[in-house]
Amino acid sequence: MSALSVTNLSRSFGGVRALSDVSFEVEAHERRLIIGPNGAGKTTLFNLLSGAAAVSTGHINLFGHEITYLPPYERARMGLARTFQITNLFPRLTVLQNVILALQSIERGAWNLLWPISTNRRLYDEASSLLARSGLAQLANTAAQNISYGEQRQLDLLLALAVRPKVLLLDEPTAGLSAAEVVRIVGVLRDLPKDITVLMIEHDMDVAFSLADRITVLHLGHIIAEGDVAAIRANPQVTEIYLGTE
């Protein structure tokens, strides 16, 4: 069974069709990269998959269950997590508190206001352990707004992982990072648990080709190519439209 199945997915904004009859399947545990020039429809696709935008036509299935019309929180409970191009953090809370809130979101009775979060030692311990494994432990008591942009991107990824996703959508995780920060994030992505299926938008071709099992290429809202790294590298249409000719 596919982890994620998309059938004839379309999205229109007024008279503009941002995505048109897109269909593809992502197998469980696969690392799938979505590439394409600006305006190709990549972020629109992620918005439809995560429930941030409504589908005009088509269907989305997560492990055989249709999620096309489910709200984002229901998709999250079924194992779908997402990061964003712009980090989605609580800037005034500490790094540790951000992770605790992510962990709390998947707890039974997550938002019981009668129980102060400070009394839950287990959540503190689990959050501290996640920070230690990710290399962010030294920032635990620093406000998220006061850490570097690269560290914020790494924290955003950690928050997505904290909810124990089955399918993880990564929206340009290396965008705006320095070369050293890109190396660090790529290392984190390579070390992601193999039981997590990953679908990632990426502009950096070196990053995309180094991480992908398969690549789907979007152009003007349509899929124009799909295959492994070698097939995409050799595809003349992709070379002309996206990668550029020498």
Judge residue 203's burial from the number of C-beta atoms within 10 Å of its C-beta, 0-12 exposed, 13-18 middle, 19 or more buried: middle
Enter the tokens of residue 86. 């712009």
CATH for 2-243 (1.10.1740.110, 3.40.50.200, 3.40.50.300, 1.10.3720.10): 3.40.50.300
CB of 113 closer than 8 Å to CB of 63: no
Per-residue pLDDT band at 95 (split at 50, 70, 90): very high
| pLDDT tens-digit series, residues 134-150 | 889 999 999 999 999 88
Mean pLDDT of the chain: 88
| pLDDT tens-digit series, residues 34-82 | 999 888 999 999 999 999 999 999 999 999 999 999 999 899 889 999 9
The pTM of the full predicted model, rounded to 2 decimals, is: 0.87
Helix 179-190 with 149-162: angle, nearest 10 deg: 10
Per-residue pLDDT band at 15 (split at 50, 70, 90): confident
Integer Cα distance of 43 and 49 in angstroms: 10
Please report the pLDDT score of residue 246 as a whole number: 46
Q: Where are the beta strands (DSSP E) in 92-246?
A: 167-171, 197-201, 214-219, 222-227
Please report the pLDDT score of residue 123 as a whole number: 86
Domain layout of the chain by residue ranges: 2-243
Nearest 5°: phi and psi at 214? -140, 155
The more confident residue out of 16 and 110 is 16
Count the residues in the chain: 246
Query: Residues of the chain with pLDDT > 90: what percent?
Result: 57
pLDDT at 111 over 80: no
Buried b (16+ CB within 10 A) or exposed e, 5-23: bbbebbbeeeeebbbbebe
Query: Residues of the chain with pLDDT > 70: what percent?
Result: 91
